[in-house]
Amino acid sequence: MSSLEETKVFNQNDAVIEGWYWALKSSKLNSKKPVHLNFLGRELALYRGEDGIARAVDAYCPHMGAHLAEGNVDGKGVRCFFHGWKFDEKGDLVDIPCRKSPGVESKIKTWPCQEKYGMIWIYTGEVPRQPVPFIYELKNSEVDASFGNEFVKECHPNVVMINAIDAHHFTSVHNLPVEVKFETIVHNDYCIAFENRTTIPHTRWYLKLFDKFYEKYLTYKMCYWNGSTGSVTVGPDFLHCHIIFALRPLANGHTEGQTILVTPKRKGVFGAIVNPIILWATKQVGNYFAKGDTEVFKTINFKLKTPIKEDDSIIKFLKHTEKQKTCDWGFGKSKNNIPESQEKDFQNEKKIQARFTNHPSL
């Protein structure tokens, strides 16, 4: 068996890659009540402090195991409904109502939590080693975002992700009259991108027309983060459409996903009118490509048994995913697959935290 077929991380439901995963729409979390969240097999309580900041903590009170989502928000912390124990924003026990002072040391686990694109994201590790997924083309720009479809697919997120870089399925499934050829760009250990390097052929009259809107290549860019979240950029040079496919694995090996539509912020009345139209059009583009692939996800049993030259981008994505750091989280077990040299780069956690807290995309 080749390493392409027998993987340790790719398409393995007991391997959760350490990274940011979408959790909940920001609008669904108010500052009055925590919410229950089974997040990749781990029970969490998610709450918004009175300072407006969203926070994620392990679900069960260390006193008797009551679920903290049954409690209440108190300042920047959360208070258990059972005996009123209060834990601050760092997870430290700071109050027991029946005592003048707690008198005991106790703590709940807190997890990195950020909001971006109107979505709450949670990091499956103690200290973020990467920023929340962003679109490289827009990393220094303000953006507007809206939501597309929320969906479930009957296969692993890694398998859903390869669909967008399966070059020869564009003709076999979508009847695209252009041969797609990808250039691979490895941004870092957790992010890999694929960009089309094909010009538009002049084999049909409408292709000659389309070619006038592209300076060089037909725009199609796909960028993957921790093997489970991908952004796609398509469209003519004067107007790029950006779609983020935020995916997370389920306990049964399936995928739960949310599409996020993104466009540069345009100010004033012009932006207020134009941007909703662009985001609507972007949603239609995403729906078009998703429609033709729905059936295969219902029955696929992915194994790359007979790779061919046209599978090159899929092979590179698979190998990149295999090298990513996994973690003990919910139904995932650490595979200890991270190279020693890579691990050394992350030893100083305070420096890492400061680096990504100030990242321009956050």
CA pseudo-torsion sign 323, 309, 153, 3: negative
Query: Cα–Cα distance between 193 and 150 in angstroms, integer?
Result: 24
Contact in structure between 186 and 162 (CB atoms under 8 Å): no
**Segment 301-329 mean pLDDT:** 92
Which H helix or E strand runs over 38?
strand 35-39
Location of each CATH 3.90.380.10 domain in the chain: 131-343
Tokens of 41: 């097999």
Q: Does the pLDDT at position 1 exceed 60? A: no
Query: Which of 193, 160, 158, 195 has its CA nearest to residue 180?
Result: 195
**Segment 340-347 mean pLDDT:** 48
pLDDT at 107: 94
pLDDT in tens, 17-60: 999 999 999 999 988 899 999 999 999 999 999 999 999 999 99
**Confidence category of residue 310, pLDDT binned at 50, 70, 90:** confident
Q: Is the domain defined by 131-343 classed in CATH 3.90.1150.10?
A: no
**Segment 11-17 mean pLDDT:** 93
DSSP 252: T
Select 30-116's CATH number: 3.40.50.150, 2.40.50.100, 3.30.2350.10, 2.102.10.10. 2.102.10.10
Query: Cα–Cα distance between 200 and 192 in angstroms, integer?
Result: 25
3-class SS string, 99-168 = CCCCCCCCECCEECEEEECCEEEEECCCCCCCCCCCCHHHCCCCEEEEEEEEEEECCCHHHHHHHHHCCC
Looking up tokens 């009847």 gives 175
Query: Cα–Cα distance between 7 and 2 in angstroms, integer?
Result: 9
Q: C-alpha 246: how far from its chain's center?
A: 4
Please give the share of the chain, as a percent, with pLDDT higher than 90.
60
Query: Cα–Cα distance between 303 and 11 in angstroms, integer?
Result: 9
Q: Does the pLDDT at position 351 exceed 90? A: no
Location of each CATH 2.102.10.10 domain in the chain: 30-116
**In DSSP terms, which residues pair with 1 in a beta bridge?**
none
User: Where do runs of H (alpha helix) occur along 198-347?
Assistant: 205-211, 268-291, 294-299, 312-322, 340-344
pLDDT in tens, 195-233: 886 765 556 655 566 556 566 666 789 999 999 999 999
Q: Look up residue 143 and give its amino acid.
A: V
Looking up tokens 């048994």 gives 305
CB-neighbour burial class of residue 100 (10 A; exposed 0-12, middle 13-18, buried 19+): exposed
* Residue of higher predicted confidence among 204 and 263: 263
Q: Which of 64-78, 147-161, 338-352 is least confident?
A: 338-352
Report the chain's mean pLDDT, rounded to a whole number.
Answer: 85
pLDDT at 292: 64
**Segment 101-126 mean pLDDT:** 94
**Confidence category of residue 356, pLDDT binned at 50, 70, 90:** very low
Q: How many other CB atoms are there within 10 angstroms of residue 138's CB atom?
A: 18
Tokens of 51: 């300072």
Please give the share of the chain, as a percent, with pLDDT higher than 70.
81
Q: Does the pLDDT at position 314 exceed 60? A: yes
Region of 174 (left: φ > 0; alpha: ψ -120 to 50; beta: rest) is alpha
Q: 92 by DSSP, 3-state: which?
A: strand
pLDDT at 359: 46
Query: Cα–Cα distance between 210 and 232 in angstroms, integer?
Result: 19
